[in-house]
Amino acid sequence: MNTNNHRRTVRLKEYNYSRAGGYFVTICTHNKEPIFGQFHDHQSVLNKLGDAVRTEWLKTAELRETVSIDEFIVMPNHFHGIIMLIENHLPISQEGTALCAPTERGFGESTKGSLSTIIGAFKSASTRQINLVRKTPGAPVWQRSFYEHVIRDENDLANIRKYIKFNPQKISY
């Protein structure tokens, strides 16, 4: 067996990624190419491709009543965002309270409304828009998979928001 094609998952084995909860996601571009813009004075300045990513991320919440978008940033070669999966008809507090999901069986299942399904739809929609702009149908935009971190509590949420907000200042190109 070729181990180069087998990727180790970072997903929690007993965690149900379709239940209400807060998640921090990071998605990198294909080959980590800086296609979404550039840095200027420690700021991420988006081009048309970066704008397409931003627009599609915002649509993620518009299209799904069980999704709320929190802090996010499009960087030249990756994306960071906080996404909240909420129960139907449960309001999110004005303070942005993190909803923590319980663990249960469901690992590896493709489930409507799951984090993987939502991120897959976002990657697909943004790829389609980017390839229309670039006139490169079928060209890869994103790396396979994505990094996720289950937000544990309000302190974790605050730290992640801070990380996202100040991420451009950490980058030196």
SS (H, E, C) 78-103: EEEEEEEECCCCCCCCCCCCCCCCCE
From the DSSP assignment, how many helices (H) and strands (E) are in the chain? 3, 6
Please answer whether residues 156 and 70 qualify as being in contact, where contact means their C-beta atoms are separated by less than 8 angstroms: no
Q: Which residues contact 73 (CB under 8 A, 6 or more apart)?
A: 44, 79, 80, 81, 164, 165, 167, 168
Least confident of 16-20, 26-30, 34-38: 16-20
Residue 91: its pLDDT value, please?
A: 44
Q: What is the CB-side half-sphere exposure of residue 55 using CA atoms within 13 A?
A: 14
The full DSSP string for 84-153 is EE--TT-PPPTT----PPPB-S-TT---TT-HHHHHHHHHHHHHHHHHHHHT-TT---B-SS-EEEE--S
Is the pLDDT assigned to residue 103 strictly greater than 70? Answer: no
The answer to whether 53 and 164 are in contact (CB under 8 A) is no
47/103: higher pLDDT: 47
How confident is the model over 67-86, as a mean pLDDT? 96
Beta carbons of 98 and 36 less than 8 angstroms apart: no
User: Which of 2-11, 12-21, 105-114 is predicted with the least confidence, judged by mean pLDDT?
Assistant: 2-11
Which of residues 51 and 102 earns the better pLDDT score? 51
When pLDDT is averaged across residues 39-52 and rounded to a whole number, the result is: 91
User: How high is the pLDDT of residue 19?
Assistant: 66
- Beta strands 67-74 and 43-46, pairing class: unpaired
Confidence at 16, pLDDT banded by 50, 70, 90: low
Residue 66: pLDDT above 80? yes
**Residue-level pLDDT at 35:** 97
* CATH fold of the domain at 12-168: Alpha-Beta Plaits (3.30.70)
pLDDT of residue 61: 94
Alpha carbon 102 to its chain centroid, in Å, reads 21
The pLDDT of residue 92: 43
Q: Which residue has the tokens 């790829």?
A: 127
